Amino acid sequence: MIRYVPILRWKRGERIALRHLTPQARARTTPLLLLGSEQFKVKAATKAHAAVPAPQVFVNDMLSDWGNGTFYLDASSLPTQGAQPHPIAAIASAARAAGATMIPVVHLGANHSYVSAVTAIRNFDGRGVCLRIDMQELFSVANWLPQWPFAIGETDLIVDFGENVASAAALGTALDGVFTGLNTSGVWRSITVAGTSMPPNFTGYTAGQHHIARIEAQLWSRLSALPLPYQLDFGDFASVTTGVTPTNIAWGYPINVKYTLPNHFLIFRGVRTTGPSGVDMDIQLRGHARGIAGYSPRHPIAGAWSDHAIDQIAVGNADTKGLEHWVQLSVNRHIELMHAVLP
């Protein structure tokens, strides 16, 4: 069975999407979480409860929304305070005590403090590590592999093309050759290819319904059909963009929705909620739900929380709620679909 690795930024919408996965989709999925400072904060004290340290807050949320299933954690963007160990060390300690199954993620540019903490976690937990590389690093494996500080056999390799997946796909046979030879110097514990075709914030699309080809899915299909000496797992960005949400979006921004299909994204580009041509958010979201429900090649997934909720919104039996709720629905549908279509 092909393993699915959705890359998430661990915001509340994504967390709740995971919470509502079916057991079948959950069993195939190993999420890779990119933990930033905005999602790693102390829970302030109240009159009834003491403050909760940030590592424990993260682990509590993880157990609530994902459970004790395996997950990858890339916390390399979190800063280190003075001579203190990197925060991922405290996260691993809290996860260990709570029974959460964490595998730390490293990238080749990670600083010494982070790599030292990951090494200690690997030594204590015995679950190995995950290495996430980009396209340039993929083509220079021979240069950096001799200095890789962990055994290849205990390393899950994720080749993440990010938003450059179309450029990677255009390389054709040159890319095929690299993937065919990835185990030449040793057998990686697993190999996953990832990327995304979604433009940030639907840039370049006018109001209305559009299709965006899922080049990352097409690329995986082509590569996995090669005579590879290993199973090639699939990963992608389950949210709209690889980066953080832009900070310069003013109130009244267009109301956009993404819905994942096997080979395309069905997107509904909305309009602003303010100004002379503005349309209320609830009206737009209800219209988007009707557009999804009425799309004949949609193929809703039986038992999927997201598809059921969209159908209820479309016929007026449920509130549209707000954009964060639609992030939940979008990510949940995306993961459920990948479980349904991957072999």
Alpha helices in 132-214 (DSSP H): 135-138, 141-144, 165-169, 173-180
Torsion of Cα atoms, 4 then 154 then 191 then 21, to 10°: 0
3-class DSSP state of 168: helix
H or E element that contains 219: helix 215-224
* Inter-residue contact 313 to 322 (CB < 8 Å): no
Cα–Cα distance measured from residue 288 to residue 294, given in angstroms and rounded to the nearest whole number: 10
Cα–Cα distance measured from residue 336 to residue 21, given in angstroms and rounded to the nearest whole number: 7
* Short-list 253, 264, 275, 255, CA closest to 320: 255
What pLDDT, on the 0 to 100 scale, is given for residue 249?
40
What single-letter DSSP state applies at residue 302?
Answer: T
The pTM assigned to this predicted structure is 0.94
What pLDDT, on the 0 to 100 scale, is given for residue 246?
43
Cα–Cα distance measured from residue 219 to residue 214, given in angstroms and rounded to the nearest whole number: 9
User: Which residue type does 108 have?
Assistant: L
- The tens place of each residue's pLDDT in the chain, 343 residues long, gives 999 999 999 999 999 999 999 999 999 999 999 999 999 999 998 888 899 999 999 999 999 999 999 999 999 999 988 778 999 999 999 999 999 999 999 999 999 999 999 999 999 999 999 999 999 999 999 999 999 999 999 999 999 999 999 999 999 999 999 999 999 999 999 999 999 998 876 778 889 999 999 999 999 999 999 999 999 999 999 975 544 444 444 445 788 999 999 999 999 999 998 888 899 999 999 999 999 999 999 989 999 999 999 999 999 999 999 889 999 999 999 999 999 999 9
Q: Which two tokens stand for residue 282?
A: 């609830």
User: Which residue type does 55 have?
Assistant: P
* Inter-residue contact 234 to 220 (CB < 8 Å): yes
